[in-house]
Structure 1
Amino acid sequence: EERATVDTVLISHWHHDHTGGIADVLSTAPDAAIYKYDPEPGHKGIVDGQKFHVDGINLTAVHTPGHTKDHMVFVLAEEDAMFTADNVLGQGTAVFEDMSEYLRSLHQMRQLFSGRAYPGHGPLVEDGPGKITEYIEHRQQRVDQVLQTMRGSNDGIDAGGTRWSAMDLVKIIYSDVPDALHPAACNGVLQILEKLASDGIVIKHDRDLWQ
């Protein structure tokens, strides 16, 4: 009805739910240019800070690794808004590959706009920076829970010498969550432990034990 044409497609990251429709787009618009950070053969690359202009709309691409290494968000100048892709969702929290990178990206994203966030999943968020602040605070809360558990300050017992597996920590921190969801939570706890190890706060031992 709109007689719209597609000449540019911006891909936020490599996950199939964000790339799986490329073939269908190209079947309808075979001359469309596909842009992505670290692109596939035949596609065009995106660099941090690259600008795109379409019918009076101005987008700036920003490399924000965390959810994935190649993750990009796009700042919409006309609305002072951001397409946050999968680093920030419309509901719930996001998964990530590297927590240190993810937190750096969240802090960076929060400074780049003051309006809405258009996420890759879920409803739009009216206060985008506010939602990002919630994400940062939530992650810090989880870090604090891991450290508190490892130090034993919940019950007054000094557990500083105990060696923990990620699942040991999950069973305490996520005790109110069904066991079936513990493996998914374990990945997030592992990311926290890796960050704490890189910060010199915890030590990683053999057999994936942490102290």
Structure 2
Amino acid sequence: MAAVIPAVTRISPRIIRVLGCNPGAMTLQGTNTYIVGTGKRRILIDTGDNDVPQYINHLRNVLQYDNIDLAHIFLTHWHPDHIGGLEDVLDQLPEQTKNCEIWKFPLNKDEKLIGEFEQFKDGQEISVEGATIRVIHTPGHTKDHVSLHLLEEDAVFSGDCILGEGTAVFEDLYDYMESLRTLLRIQPEIIYPGHGNVIYDPIERIQFYLNHRQERETQIMEILRCNERASFTEGELVDLIYQNLPKNLAKAAAMNVNHHLQKLLKEEKVKKLDSMWQHNQTIKSIC
């Protein structure tokens, strides 16, 4: 069982974690937001969900107690549990956000979001007192997803690319695998995820994620290869691959299987007939 995450945690001399108070099947104990820096003007990473008074109260208390203003708000990606609370933060904490710049990697969906964003660029560095953050574009979970490398601690804020428990969903498997390899090359000392507890074994965790995705692909291919004359729906593959899967996670599992199948389709390892999937029998296989 995962350790309980307090509402507010002073993780290091330059990092305060404020829990988004929005627990759920996909958000675990809630969205982790982080205040970063050591001076009066600091960075807030992510803003949780909209209309969560508990979160705003905790954030307000921290900012007032430590006499902090927000110089920047960094948004790791467009999902509502990371960006949804932005309007509440700006509206309800006007003094602490008066001269705040809001940063995000560009995406077409942004036209539906409030306000104007400063646009992150891959490799860009932004500093406040006590903290220098390098932006790493890590697409896959979403196209606009970024991770943030805190140079002073060799720490990575991983957003939803890597979670404190379990594995992440993604939009594009190829991009996601490349992003994991990018983070592996950085060799961070520690990972602060968007959900779940701090990751103190980052290299092992990233490698686990890579191995896990390869394992899923192998499982899919084994089922299709060993049943070359049969066709399967994504739901049938989920039932065969995932054991004792809670019903509320079945949709996410089917989405992950679909992404694997789309990748395999591009590689011409599988065929799709309507909504059914088959092994591509033009490729020689041994079962």
TM over 0.5: yes
Partner residue of 1:133? 207
Q: Give structure 2 stretches of 5+ with no counterpart.
A: 1-64, 280-287
1:156 aligned partner: none
1:54-65 to 2 correspondences below 5 Å: 54-65=128-139
Q: CA RMSD in A?
A: 1.6
Q: Is the 8 A contact 1:89 1:119 kept in 2?
A: yes
Q: Is the 8 A contact 1:146 1:169 kept in 2?
A: yes
Match of residue 145, structure 1, among 219, 223, 226 = 219
Identity, % of aligned positions: 36
Once the two structures are TM-superposed, the CA of residue 42 in structure 1 deviates from its matched residue by 1.2
Give the corresponding residue for 1:8.
Answer: 72
Whether the 8 Å CA contact 2:261–2:270 is kept in 1: the answer is: yes
The whole-number CA distance in structure 2 between the counterparts of 1:176 and 1:17 is: 27
Tell me the distance in 2 between the aligned counterparts of 1:114 and 1:3.
Answer: 30
Distance 1:79 1:104 in 2: 24
Matched position secondary structure for 1:7: strand
Q: Hey, what does 2:143 align to over in structure 1?
A: 69
Structure 1, residues 102-149: CA drift from partner, whole Å, max 9, x if none?
A: 111101111113300000001000121211111111111111110111
Superposition pairs of residues 58-137 of structure 1, within 5 angstroms: 58-137=132-211
TM-score, normalised by the number of residues in structure 2: 0.68
State the secondary structure of the residue aligned to 2:232.
Answer: coil
- Which is richer in strand? 2
Query: How far does residue 31 in structure 1 lie from its aligned partner after superposition?
Result: 2.1
What amino acid does structure 1 have at the position aligned with 2:151? A
Q: Which residue in 1 is equivalent to 2:83?
A: 19
Secondary structure at 1:203 match in 2 = strand
Query: Is the CA contact 1:35–1:44 (under 8 Å) kept in the aligned structure 2?
Result: yes
Superposition deviation, residue 30 in structure 1: 2.9
Counterpart Cα distance in 2 of 1:135 and 1:59: 24
Match of 2:233 in 1: 165
1:177: Cα distance to partner? 2.6
Contact 1:82-1:113 within 8 A present in 2 as well:
no
Supply the distance in 1 between the matched residues of 2:268 and 2:190 (Cα, whole angstroms).
Answer: 37
More helix by share: 1
- Contact 1:75/1:113 (8 A) holds in 2: no
Q: Measured at CA, do residues 9 and 180 of structure 1 come closer, stay the same or move farther in structure 2, by a change above 3 Å?
A: closer
Deviations 1:160-210 (A, max 9, x none): 232221112112112433556433321111111011111221122223434
In 2: Cα distance, 1:36 partner to 1:210 partner = 40
Distance 1:44 1:31, change over 3 A: same
Quick one: which of 223, 245, 249 aligns to 1:177?
245
For these two proteins, the number of residue pairs brought into alignment is 205
Preserved contact between residue 81 and residue 113 of structure 1 (Cα < 8 Å): no
1:71 is displaced (CA, Å) by 0.2
